[in-house]
């Protein structure tokens, strides 16, 4: 019996809220029903309806090697045959920790968890425990997982005390989260002048990926680093998306900025559920059992997940020169897309950093959440649907990043450009 996406979605809605296990998968913002996936290999993903797409979602970032890379699959098989979980330490965890510490100059010690959400949530608890302060400062449009303190809606334009971004989050907790616009160092400085000595941590995506791709302005991250030092605030770089995405290690556009803590996830799990947070020794040593800040996990450092992550990182390490080609290929894709839109007189702002990009349908420069919101969402939906019809699977929301993998070939890129030409031809 072969089930269609349509049927599977109908049935799923009966026993899974909204029919999906993570909201954006429902395709709600593009006014469609989700495609159900049967399998994926390399840069290509196949749905249960028998259609094959060139995939730019890549599981929202992790699959930088492409899907079902044979070496990673083999590592998973080997690990699984030796037992899938022990609840006791293994050599694999040491190997993974060593690889992460070597790749990140800012990380002396690292703790493994099972998701990016858990990494950010734990890093914030640790920062609060280390500083003895309760407030945190984040940037509008940055996503750090769905922990209560972090799901706080942005105030518009000015620094505001937090309002819960979801029912179920206590106002008293949200009030401890302050939000300022991304790339706005003045707003950050003003807020810290008032509250700086009560702020435990400043958490930021060094390249924002969750309001669509938004690069940091020159000097932005340096200024955050200086401000954190001045006020004794723990600086957290959330590199769940950016870690190992642009090069082997963290985002390195600016030399000599060392965050106090780094959050990781996505790529380091090679497609299995993994997160990590690490940083300066004296902060990390505050964690139980060496210190008083509690943090734990039944499946933390899971051997199968470690095997997948280690295999992925080894390939990236041994082929580090491939990053340059990947980034170039993505640049070529984006510059040609821009040309196609320009020739049709369709205003777009394409933000690209390395192998991640977002096409915003706006004539404005997108540098924060407010400018991202000037994008024409109807145009985006139309574009998304047109591309999907032509077998190109882009991220199904204006405010997400699309990714290119090492498995995407020049032929895949050319087919994507052809699909874009055909899609915009009808406009």
- Give the distance from CA 55 to its chain's centroid: 16
Kindly report the number of other CB atoms within 10 A of residue 283's CB atom: 22
Q: Are 376 and 370 in contact (CB under 8 A)?
A: no
Residue numbers at the binding site for ligand PLP (CB under 6 A)? 115-117, 120, 143-145, 205, 209-210, 238, 240-241, 265, 275
In terms of CB distance, is 153 or 364 closer to ligand PLP? 153
The nearer residue to ligand PLP, 117 or 416, going by C-beta atoms, is 117
143 flagged as catalytic: yes
Whole-Å CA distances, 250 to 4, 98, 107, 235: 41, 15, 10, 15
Catalytically annotated residue among 56, 130, 143, 248: 143
User: Taking the CA of residue 3 as centre, how many other CA atoms within 13 Å lie in the half-sphere pointing to its CB?
Assistant: 12
Residue 35 DSSP SS3? coil
Nearer to ligand PLP among residue 113 and residue 199 (C-beta): 113
Least separation, in Å, of the C-beta of 63 and ligand PLP?
13
Asked if 231 is an active-site residue, the reply is no
Q: Strand 135-140 and strand 177-181: pairing?
A: parallel
Q: Is 190 a catalytic residue?
A: no
Handedness of CA 102, 107, 109, 112 (dihedral sign): negative
Residue number with the smallest Cβ distance to ligand PLP: 116
What are the structure tokens assigned to 336, written together? 């040609």
Rounded to a whole number of angstroms, the minimum distance from the CB of residue 151 to ligand PLP is 11
CB 189 to ligand PLP: min, Å: 24
- Tell me which of 47, 55, 184, 238 is the catalytic residue: 238
Give residue for tokens 């026993």.
15
Nearer to ligand PLP, 248 or 399 (CB): 399
In whole angstroms, the minimum distance from the beta carbon of 119 to ligand PLP comes to: 7
Tokens standing for 349? 């702002």
Helix (H, G, I), strand (E, B) or coil at 104: coil
101, 107, 112, 113 alpha-carbon torsion, rounded to 10°:
-150
Q: Which is nearer to ligand PLP, 273 or 347 (CB)?
A: 273
Residue numbers annotated as active site: 143, 238, 266
């Amino acid at each position: 019996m072969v089930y269609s996406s349509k049927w599977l979605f109908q049935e799923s809605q009966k026993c899974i809220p909204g029919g999906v296990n993570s909201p954006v998968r429902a395709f709600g913002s593009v006014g469609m029903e989700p495609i159900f996936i049967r399998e994926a290999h390399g840069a290509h993903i196949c749905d249960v309806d028998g259609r094959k797409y060139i995939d730019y979602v890549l599981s929202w970032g992790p699959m930088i090697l492409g899907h079902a890379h044979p070496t990673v699959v083999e590592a998973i098989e080997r690990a699984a045959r030796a037992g899938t979980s022990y609840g006791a330490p293994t050599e694999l965890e040491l190997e993974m920790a060593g690889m992460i510490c070597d790749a990140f100059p800012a990380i002396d010690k690292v703790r493994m968890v099972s998701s990016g959400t858990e990494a950010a949530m734990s890093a914030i608890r640790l920062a609060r425990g280390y500083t003895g302060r309760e407030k945190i400062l984040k940037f509008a449009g940055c996503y750090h997982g769905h922990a209560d303190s972090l799901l706080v809606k942005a105030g518009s334009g000015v620094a505001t005390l937090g309002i819960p971004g979801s029912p179920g989050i206590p106002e008293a907790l949200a009030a401890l989260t302050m939000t300022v616009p991304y790339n706005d160092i003045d707003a950050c400085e003003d807020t810290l002048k008032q509250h700086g000595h009560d702020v435990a941590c400043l958490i930021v995506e060094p390249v924002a990926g969750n309001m669509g791709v938004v690069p940091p302005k020159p000097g932005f991250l340096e200024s955050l680093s200086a401000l954190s030092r001045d006020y004794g605030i723990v600086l957290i770089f959330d590199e769940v998306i950016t870690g190992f995405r642009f090069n082997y290690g963290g985002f390195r556009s600016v030399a000599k900025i060392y965050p106090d803590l780094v959050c990781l996830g996505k790529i380091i799990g090679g497609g299995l559920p993994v997160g990590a947070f690490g940083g300066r020794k004296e902060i990390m040593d505050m964690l139980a059992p060496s210190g008083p800040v509690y943090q734990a996990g039944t499946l933390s450092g899971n051997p199968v997940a470690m095997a997948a992550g280690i295999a992925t990182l080894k390939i990236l390490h041994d082929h580090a020169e491939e990053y340059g080609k990947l980034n170039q290929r993505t640049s070529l894709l984006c510059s040609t897309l821009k040309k196609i839109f320009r020739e049709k007189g369709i205003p777009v702002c394409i933000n690209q950093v390395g192998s991640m990009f977002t096409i915003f349908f706006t004539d404005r420069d997108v540098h924060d959440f407010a400018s991202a919101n000037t994008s024409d969402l109807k145009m985006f939906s139309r574009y998304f649907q047109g591309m999907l019809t032509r077998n190109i699977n882009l991220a199904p929301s204006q405010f997400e990043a699309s990714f290119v993998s090492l498995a995407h070939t020049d032929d895949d890129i050319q087919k994507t450009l052809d699909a874009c030409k055909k899609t915009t031809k009808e406009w």
